[in-house]
Structure 1
Amino acid sequence: MTDHQERDTPWRLCWPTAQGRVTRARLKTHPEDFRVDETLDRDTLMGHAGEHVCLYLEKTGDNTEYVARQLARIAGCRPLDIGFCGLKDRHAVTRQWFSLHRPGREGEDPDLVAAVASHWPVLAQGRAVRKLRRGEHAGNRFVIVLRDIEGDRAAIEEALNTLGRRGAPNYFGPQRFGHQGSNLTRALALDPDALKRRRGSSRNRRDKTHSERVMYFSAARAWLFNEVLAARVEAGHWDRCLEGEPAPPERAPTGPLWGDGGTLAEGPQGELERAVVARHPGFERLFSATRMAPERRPLVVRPEALAWRWREDAALEVEFRLRPGQYATTLLSDIFELEDMSLGRHNE
């Protein structure tokens, strides 16, 4: 496939499931149908001293980046001085931690908390010696209500039991790739030399154009991972290690986050991963021209403490915990064909 053909071909944004979907359901009919509680290791990260104020907020109808910008305005600091561990959905009720760089201003904390509380409920607070960073939370707890479910309840519960025991393919969610894969199309147009020139400069890291390049680059990396995982789902060995696996400590199967040099896998597994990426020469060239090292990501997302109950309104309430970087909708999509009712509200 040529680069021109690759741009003109619609991107695959729906990948094969392990179980095969057994029913349909509506997701996010109301914001309260999708609840997320971020879990932070407070003993490790937080105490009563440090330069960063940490606030645990509940928000509805606001995405994480918007809240971070507003916190910077309220606190009188730069957006760069606001930290958080992960992006949370706008059309949901979410609880998450934010850090605000406020050195030497401990006496002003009560006034700051009061100002923030006029916008969002402040559920807890503390101070930390460093800024909260992406992915360093312990995980997320989800309580999700699925409505207008079609299908046999016994078959659905059997699929849920299998999901709890075996897990599901750990795909990146389609929202990462932009509308109809627009982030991927833009990634193909990136100038790798420009991306390298931007590294190492704190001023340039705040530049919007650079941030967009990083987002497109990340989307391409995630999409290649999904393509490799899809090939392994189709082959039936997505949930076990193959010969050539780089052997993580827990001996769990992983897939490539592509980089300069391609993949860390060897043998048959490395051959499979290189063959999949070779179908997309534009991306292959993009990564070979950067200095980003290859990394690995688990192929399996396995929910912790999975439980469910049928409600009186015939809706299904599902509860579980996931580790950072894992998607609740990816997990549920292994057995439910989900209709996201929030999509029509994105432009409201």
Structure 2
Amino acid sequence: MIVTPDLPQETSAWRLDWPTSTGERVASATLKSTPDDFFVDEDLSLPDELATGGEHLCIRLQKKGDNTDYVARQLAALSGCRHFDVGFCGLKDRHAVTRQWFSVYRPGREDEDAAFLAQVAQSWPVMEHHRQPRKLRRGDHRGNFFELILRDVSGDADAVDRALTRLRDVGCPNYFGPQRFGHNGANLDRALTMDPSKLNRRGSRNPKKPGRGRATSGSGDSKNVLYFSAARSWLFNEVLGYRVKTGTWLETMDGEPGSGENQGIMVTGPLWGDGGTEAVSAQGELERALVAEYPGLAAVFSTTRMKPERRPLRMLPGALEWQWQGSDQLLLRFWLAPGQYATSLLSDVFDITDATRDAGQS
């Protein structure tokens, strides 16, 4: 029997902070004091057969102070193509130094590539380039390398080292970052009033990859897509937060999708869709009971025809290493899979102050 947890009803004061893996944060720190403190390098690693020529020119740029969509629009303007004809694997932070891949549709214009790249280089350093037969799409990359500097670290250094060692070996809850929900959860407020019928496509481009699907809109209403994704992500965080609080986030429950197929099944949570969740039995009952606490958000999915998907509950960073630079500054390096948030990883150990938000930057 599932006991519905004592969670708050829908409100404008959305929860945007969820339980940590150990129940506490051992230190506080400041992130993004300068853009150079947050470095991201996109790991594309395409198969060789996709980098041997084609109609799309792929460019790896380094940017600072510009968001991904702005760069994509500028590349389209420089190339004389539609904004839609520029592809990228994911959004990257504006307040950071990021190396990111873009694809630009330029059929039959190979002889003009050098001149075009020279134009691009006037705004952003071009790290490398190649041609390939298809456009880059969301989630095409293998992941992202991060090199971050935390400043004003306050806490016991030995406790921080122990917490980071546990983070390296065990991982942490795979929460969506609070930036997905807008300022004070504004995207969630808007999700409650959006027209879900405009999100009328079912399924995702690659349903075999958990958590990689995305809402798409036949009408091109990107704002509705944003609000839909925020609602879906917040419900996932609520389910994960409950599993963390009850100590079950690393354990397979009865009803986990795919649990009868192999012994190495991944522990996942729901990305809600038409029909709710793919989980059944005890896990399905739990997930439905948790989401039922938010009927307004649940109703967003009633007419979208979006297929339910799954996302891993655990985030395990690759090659995590750290180095103290004095008593209050810490350098961290690690790799994360697509769709995982560095801020969520850090927040499992540190009470993080984002310097760009405190400065009123967006």
Maintained 8 Å contact 2:42/2:145 = yes
How far, CA to CA, are the matches of 1:83 and 1:299 in structure 2? 29
User: Offset of 1:252 from its aligned partner?
Assistant: 1.7
Match of 1:16 in 2: 19
Residue 84, structure 1, aligned to residue 96, structure 2? no
Residue 294, structure 1, aligned to residue 305, structure 2? no
User: Offset of 1:325 from its aligned partner?
Assistant: 0.5
User: Offset of 1:192 from its aligned partner?
Assistant: 2.3
Maintained 8 Å contact 1:46/1:126 = no
Match of 1:75 in 2: 79
Match of 2:338 in 1: 324
Letter in 2 for 1:91: H
Residues 180-211 of structure 1: CA deviation (Å, up to 9, x unaligned): 11111111112223433999xxxx8574xx11
Residue 43, structure 1, aligned to residue 47, structure 2? yes
Q: SS of the residue aligned with 2:154?
A: coil
Maintained 8 Å contact 1:84/1:133 = yes
How far, CA to CA, are the matches of 1:253 and 1:66 in structure 2? 37
Match of 1:246 in 2: 257
Maintained 8 Å contact 2:81/2:105 = yes
How far, CA to CA, are the matches of 2:60 and 2:175 in structure 1? 28
Which residue among 138, 149, 155 is the counterpart of 1:151?
Answer: 155
Q: SS of the residue aligned with 1:112?
A: helix
How far, CA to CA, are the matches of 2:57 and 2:121 in structure 1? 14
Maintained 8 Å contact 2:198/2:304 = no
Q: How does 1:222-233 map to 2 (within 5 A)?
A: 222-233=233-244
Maintained 8 Å contact 1:51/1:130 = yes
Maintained 8 Å contact 1:35/1:142 = yes
Maintained 8 Å contact 1:82/1:131 = yes
Q: SS of the residue aligned with 1:283?
A: helix
How far, CA to CA, are the matches of 2:314 and 2:356 in structure 1? 27
Residues 250-276 of structure 1: CA deviation (Å, up to 9, x unaligned): 412100000111111111111110000
Gaps of 5+ in 1: none
Gaps of 5+ in 2: 1-7, 204-216
Q: Report how many aligned residue pairs link the two structures.
A: 338
How far, CA to CA, are the matches of 2:333 and 2:202 in structure 1? 42
Maintained 8 Å contact 1:7/1:185 = no
Change (3 A) 1:83 1:194: closer
Identity of aligned pairs, percent?
A: 55
Q: SS of the residue aligned with 2:199?
A: helix
User: Offset of 1:241 from its aligned partner?
Assistant: 1.0
Q: What TM-score do you get using the length of structure 1 for normalisation?
A: 0.93
User: Offset of 1:9 from its aligned partner?
Assistant: 3.9
Change (3 A) 1:240 1:198: closer
Greater share of residues in helix = 1
User: Offset of 1:314 from its aligned partner?
Assistant: 3.7
